[in-house]
Amino acid sequence: MLSVVIPAHNAARWIADAVASVQAQPLSSAPDIIVVANHCSDDTADIARVAGARVIDSPAPGPAAARNAGVAASSGEFVAFLDADDLWPADSLPARLALLKATPDAAMVFGDCRQFDDAGDGTTRPHARTLFEQGGLGTNFFGDTTRVIDPLDKLLDADFVTTGSVVMRRHAFEALGGFDSSLALVEDLDLWLRCAARFPLLWHPGLALLRRRHDSNLSRDTTAMQHAYIDVLGRLAQWPQAQHLKARIDALRRRELRSLARQSLSAGHPLSALRQWLRAVST
């Protein structure tokens, strides 16, 4: 059985379409769709129930806690994730699910993503190229037609996993402790890194996700994303499985810290810039 977890914070505009895109997948049995109402002040929960989803409340703010609560409330052997403002393309799920079922040692499978801009006026503009196409991600990069060879190393080269394209084995999710709810951002990359350090990862070339870009996206705060990324890299540097990558991890941290320093200086905050430069030098 498949469980689909959709965290939703004030997503009344989009939640019905997200649920419908899951229901439209041609599966032999209907998935258990769990919408986790994440401290909503609108009618997201009511719309999700009418659309056919099971709705629960999140125990704490943030997508990590919401996704963890959704998995805890589910019972499927496989768990998939979708954000409330995103969509699954028609007929995109069965191939990924079949690949994961056929590869018992793998913890998860992910696919390609096409982003689209939503201006909020009813019009959308799909991006010309998918994320795999933009990054040149295919067999040559991943090293195999289905498996990601040296996934921990490759995740330092490119953050190629979009959360809404992931299908994961429940036992692997539970073994990893789920998403780290102490992280407000980059909690998804943190989980993929921990997963890559312990389990094989699979990739599928098909389009698995339509990702909506709009003014409310959390990832639009690039400075906060950089700070979170630096913190996750710092954690990674401590893992025994990542000691062979420490020089690369330190170089990435220095790069991000220097970038933050330049941004602070341009914004007229020289003391903040100096702190970032000193952190970069000491890393």
Q: Residue 198's CB: how many other CB atoms inside 10 A?
A: 12
Grouping H, G, I as helix, E, B as strand and the rest as coil, residue 2 is strand
CB 157 within 8 A of CB 143: no
Residue 118 has a pLDDT of 84
Residue 249 has a pLDDT of 92
Residues of the chain with pLDDT under 70: 216-220
Could you tell me which of 124, 127, 119, 93 has the C-alpha nearest to residue 21? 93
What span, in angstroms and rounded, lies between the C-alpha atoms of 281 and 88?
44
> pTM for this one?
0.90
Residue 196 has a pLDDT of 96
Contacts 24+ apart (CB under 8 A), 159-162: 159/189, 160/110, 160/131, 160/132, 160/135, 160/203, 161/110, 161/188, 161/189, 161/192, 162/110, 162/113, 162/131, 162/208, 162/209, 162/211
Q: How far is CA 283 from CA 5, 53, 249, 257, in A?
A: 38, 47, 10, 9
Grouping H, G, I as helix, E, B as strand and the rest as coil, residue 100 is helix
Residue 181 has a pLDDT of 92
Residue 220 has a pLDDT of 59
Question: Residue 63 corresponds to which amino acid?
Answer: P
Residue 269 has a pLDDT of 83
